Homo-oligomer: A and B are copies of this chain.
């Protein structure tokens, strides 16, 4: 077996150590004679797995005790509705910053459920920067201010965060959670679909300050009511147990790597290496202003779009997978989440250099 380097934006590569452990435990978890996916979610074995995962996540991110940590079904798209349903009434003002495709999706969904204002946008600039927080036209009476700290498709990331005062900041951190330390206490809520830096698709983590929940509007589906899940320790119904277990293995792997500061150092090194190579080349290009470049998603174009297919074919032949850019953007994209080793970056750069030499 040869493991490829998988640059997929999500579902994304997982650490090989994690997959190996999952494989070894598939039919028999710790001598219990059954797979984790066959366990009752209310039994001692799974409850211990679940609690350990939550504790490890709290340790890694330094999550204060007054925040609930929920392991929910679905992806961030479910929470695009969950956020307004839990944190605002039907006509309440809610502020959103538009930095790309995923911001827009969050805005569209919330727009059907609350009085949404787009308080800042870099759409006209092709999403090549994050608007300066000093210029956001926020409303003091907004129920929350929603941001997308890392845009998976545009490869755009916040370099600093707003001071929202009394307005809680809500962040869809799906594509960069756990990639570097974050001061959770500056946010009212952080949520993230699992399938980039946490585990397999089908799990979403919601970290929310408890004083903000318990007031979901009338008619909110129970499965989207954060207070119900908090009260039930995320076991109001059967949670996605196997995804939760795998997330726990990833958290333990992150601890073994040295935690989020160590990951941030590695991630910065990986990204700098790749952006540095792109910037030095006349053949490859990335349009994002350097200050706002994502450490996780690196879109790039070739000087000649007609070479895209040849680039992708050559990459795949070398075991460099899923480099095609998002259909809405074109070009290429290398997603280099926590699980992508530095050797994967070097292999990609070697190939890019060779391709440029041949075809550039």
The interface of chain A, by Cβ under 8 A from chain B, is 1-4, 6, 8-14, 16, 19-20, 22-23, 26-28, 32-35, 37-41, 43, 73-78, 80-82, 85, 109, 112-113, 193, 195, 200-203, 218-219, 221-224, 236-243, 246, 319, 321-322
Contact = CB atoms under 8 A, between A and B. Distances in A.
Interface SS majority for chain A: loop
Contacts of A33: 1-4, 6, 319, 321
A243 B221 CA distance: 23
B81 A202 contact: no
30 contacts: A1-B27, A2-B28, A2-B33, A6-B38, A11-B39, A11-B241, A16-B27, A19-B35, A20-B26, A23-B27, A26-B26, A34-B321, A41-B201, A74-B74, A75-B238, A77-B222, A77-B237, A78-B223, A81-B223, A82-B221, A109-B221, A112-B218, A193-B238, A200-B240, A201-B238, A202-B203, A202-B240, A219-B219, A240-B240, A242-B242
A13 to B, nearest CB: 5
A149 B193 CA distance: 33
Nearest to A13: B38
A26 B34 contact: no
A243 B23 contact: no
A182 to B, nearest CB: 23
A73 B16 CA distance: 26
Report the copy number of this chain in the oligomer. 2
Nearest to A76: B237
A13 B34 contact: yes
